[in-house]
Amino acid sequence: MSTLTARDWLQLFSNRRIGATLLLGFSSGLPLALVGGTLQAWFAVSGVDIVTIGFLGLVGQPYVYKFLWAPFMDRYVPPLLGRRRGWLLVTQGMLSIAIAAMALFNPAAAPGALGLVAVAVAFLSASQDIAVDAYRADVLQPRERGLGAAVSIGGYRLAMLVSGGLALILADYIGWSSMYLLMAAAVAVGVIGTLLGPEPETPAHTPHSLREAVIKPLAEFMTRPAALWLLALIVLYKLGDAFAGTLTMAFLIRGPGFTPTEIGAVYKTLSLVTTILGAIFGGTLLASLGLYRALLLFGVLQAVSNLGFMLLAIAGKSMPLMIGVVAFENFTGGMGAAAFVALLMTLCDHRYTATQYALLSALSAIGRVYVGPLAGYLVEWLGWERFFLVTFMTALPGLWLLWILRVNIRGLETKA
């Protein structure tokens, strides 16, 4: 492999493909907090009960099931801008309208209606993700893929900071409805990326049948030893982490009593930085530890991090403690995410990488989406301190299953 010169790097950074990837990464990350943590904070400050807030986790269901309509978006081509950019423009236009529609409702007066609009936003966001992922894979040349992935993640994380931390600060000053209207306008960043991005030089392969698109990848995976147990591991490995995270925003407001501005300025920014640092550190360690040992060590650490929130619930409002707890939780969560993504990639057959990765990543999102309602009931029944103890215990079955499958995981490492 030839070494890239400074001029080569300058050309990479300045080309339209990389620029479009950055802007589309931002557009992909923008809606996630608006139907997640930011929406949860709006419900919390509006006085909505904790059980109802727990049910907000169900808003994210389209992210779990997006693989069901991905073949439709692959097979059919909109009349403008080609297959990938055409779908991007369609989903972005509808996404901006749907986010603006959220500004028309009040969580205290119409929580159900606002929740339904949020589901529509999540559906359109998941659809945009399908098109973004496909466009990025089609348009980037081989030597651009590493940089393209990096700038895409950077844009995605920046957007989550805008729609998370900055949005909470703006809501304190201009109101929640005005803030959501601003976020709807911010979708224009992605539209610019769609319009400026070039068409792929080589058209993407179109599945010719349902068997080729879905059945073959599934059949191949199910022929592997311990296939069902591996699928269970994917669901359980980050379940405790997801359980605690589903009500973190509501806890910081309702429990210790932090304001949205404090959360936006400290929690959101700190979590962004420490998650990225944890992912980089975890990815570096993974090379020397191996996949199984990294999964086990990082899994233990991210489980222990849940106990930090239990300590914060007991201690009450303490900014230094909140900073320490949030930093540790997100750093270890980033480490766990690095190992978990490596596991998903290792599990994919190279003939069916796109389909199998979409299905496995959707399966991994089940816990994040469906524990919300149960979490709300548990907080109401047990209180915050014991709730976070339960989230720690919820992480243990995944670690136990990982230990049971240690031979299989090590076999995957050897095969890779």
The mean pLDDT value for 90-96 works out to 94
- Greatest CA separation found in the chain? 62
Q: What is the pLDDT of residue 100?
A: 93
Q: pLDDT grade, residue 404 (50/70/90)?
A: very high
Q: What is the pLDDT of residue 177?
A: 87
Going from the N-terminus, what domains does the chain have, and what CATH number goes with each? 14-206 (1.20.1250.20), 207-416 (1.20.1250.20)
Asked if residue 12 has pLDDT above 60, the reply is no
Q: Which residues contact 156 (CB under 8 A, 6 or more apart)?
A: 25, 26, 28, 29
CB hemisphere CA count around 14 (13 angstroms): 6
Q: What is the pLDDT of residue 149?
A: 56
The mean pLDDT value for 37-63 works out to 78
Q: What is the pLDDT of residue 1?
A: 38
Asked if residue 119 has pLDDT above 80, the reply is yes
Q: What is the pLDDT of residue 348?
A: 65
Q: Which residues contact 388 (CB under 8 A, 6 or more apart)?
A: 244, 306, 307, 309, 310, 313
Q: pLDDT grade, residue 37 (50/70/90)?
A: confident
Place of tokens 């670690």: 399
Name which residue leads in pLDDT, 230 or 134.
230
Asked if residue 10 has pLDDT above 80, the reply is no
Q: What is the pLDDT of residue 283?
A: 66
Cβ neighbours of 268 (radius 10 Å):
25
Name which residue leads in pLDDT, 241 or 394.
394
Residues of 21-53 as b/e, b for ≥16 C-beta within 10 angstroms?
bbbbbbbbbbbbbbbbbbbbbbbbbeebebeeb
User: What is the average pLDDT value for the chain, to the nearest integer?
Assistant: 80
Amino acid at 133: D
Q: What is the pLDDT of residue 94?
A: 94
Measured torsion, CA atoms of residues 29, 370, 333, 128, in degrees rounded to the nearest 10: -20
Asked if residue 274 has pLDDT above 80, the reply is yes
Q: What is the pLDDT of residue 120?
A: 92
Q: pLDDT grade, residue 97 (50/70/90)?
A: very high
Place of tokens 């103890």: 389
Q: Which residues contact 259 (CB under 8 A, 6 or more apart)?
A: 172, 253
Asked if residue 35 has pLDDT above 70, the reply is yes
Q: pLDDT grade, residue 182 (50/70/90)?
A: very high
Place of tokens 């999540």: 122
Asked if residue 344 has pLDDT above 70, the reply is yes
Q: What is the pLDDT of residue 216?
A: 74
Residue among 326, 332, 322 at smallest CA distance from 277:
332
Asked if residue 11 has pLDDT above 70, the reply is no
Q: Is the pTM here over 0.85, yes or no?
A: no
Asked if residue 230 has pLDDT above 60, the reply is yes
Report the percent of the chain where pLDDT is more than 70.
Answer: 82
Asked if residue 300 has pLDDT above 50, the reply is yes
The mean pLDDT value for 122-142 works out to 80
Q: pLDDT grade, residue 204 (50/70/90)?
A: low
Asked if residue 350 has pLDDT above 60, the reply is no
Q: What is the pLDDT of residue 114?
A: 86
The mean pLDDT value for 347-357 works out to 62
Asked if residue 237 has pLDDT above 80, the reply is yes
Asked if residue 107 has pLDDT above 90, the reply is no
Tens digits of residue pLDDT in 213-227 = 667 777 878 888 888
Q: What is the pLDDT of residue 4?
A: 44
Report the percent of the chain where pLDDT is more than 90.
Answer: 15
Of 76-85, 126-135, 136-145, 164-173, the range with the lowest mean pLDDT is 136-145
The mean pLDDT value for 54-69 works out to 77
